[in-house]
Amino acid sequence: MSAFTPASEVILRHSDEFTARNVLFAGDLQDDLPAQLETASSRVHTQQYHHWQNLSRRLGEQATFSLIARADDVAGCDTLVYYWPKNKPEAQFQLQNLLSLLPTGCDIFVVGENRSGVRSAEGMLDAWAKMEKIDSARRCGLYHGRLDTQPGFDPDRFGHTYPLDDLTIHTLPGVFSRDGLDMGSDLLLSTLTPHTKGKVLDVGCGSGVLATVLAQHSPKVRLWLCDVHAAALEASKATLAANGLEGDVFASNVFSDVTGRFDLILSNPPFHDGMQTSLDAAQALIRGALKHLNSGGELRIVANAFLPYPQILDEAFGNHEVLAQTGRFKVYRAVYGRGAKAR
């Protein structure tokens, strides 16, 4: 990437501050500033696979992707630069994890867009570090403090479950629809029929709810689930295990790490990357599905009704149908082999 996010532009206003520091970058990293900012050394920890893919090309083993940071991931760092995500529980999970590993006395910089709720950093960290706002630009705030006391960190405290009929769904901070089934997924699930067979891929699996409900009434399906978010992967594994199901759960930026072809691809695709609206993932999903569907296989997605997916579906598959709709959502179905433009 060449363009920097507003948050990174604020960090650049203070670039001289970091030249002699051993910096750990973490949080909602959406550009390659950690690979470009002049520092004594730079490390990255991210829960987002696509961000890791980008940064690891430049930083190699100094960039790590996992749900929980370990001591080796922060070794030697004396400064944390944390990019605030849009989800406050996710920020609490990540910051508590990181600060439990970093040495007391280390400097903490927290940056984020004002609309993301970055102002909460002062209160959230108050027990461990006194944070002070030191800059405001590009509709972002930059906060600084020093770690006085290491927090404890127990990842099990952050887990959450909710019942869905006779199923148990596991979620974690940052996973889409953490507190219950969202209306879009509910509409998509209403279109699934019992006795489905074959290989099923759930792209952007989140808590694994789509694949789990399908497998409950179609036990002959074979499941593959992928997501970019480490928390989603962990939640999906826990959801499958809690309901006695098996499936291959793995990290993939849409189809980046997907191999083979499937009879059904399901998704409730995101249309945001952090705070920014982005249709890139959904467009990549629709166009890329052609390479990963068996003949007669189908792509079935749910999306906000205002999004321009019908045109993209018709360009890729030749046609599509709407299986269900409400005032807010539509469920689209497109079949490979009915006018699809193979590539």
Please tell me the pTM assigned to this model.
0.94
Cβ neighbours of residue 333 under 8 Å, at least 6 residues apart?
A: 191, 298, 299, 300, 320, 321, 322, 323
In this prediction, residue 179 carries a pLDDT of 79
- Of 286, 297, 292, whose CA–CA distance to 336 is shortest? 297
- Of 328, 321, 209, 192, whose CA–CA distance to 271 is shortest? 328
Cβ neighbours of residue 158 under 8 Å, at least 6 residues apart?
A: 89, 92, 93, 172, 173
| Residue 64 φ/ψ, nearest 5 degrees | -125, 150
- Residue located via tokens 């960090």: 11
Cβ neighbours of residue 306 under 8 Å, at least 6 residues apart?
A: none
Using CA atoms, how far residue 201 sits from 109, 171, 186, 272, in Å, is 39, 19, 18, 21
In this prediction, residue 195 carries a pLDDT of 86
pLDDT per 10-residue tile (average), the chain, 343 residues: 85 97 97 97 97 96 98 97 95 98 98 95 97 97 98 96 95 88 94 93 96 95 97 98 98 97 94 58 92 96 90 94 95 82 42
Strands of 86-127, DSSP E = 107-113
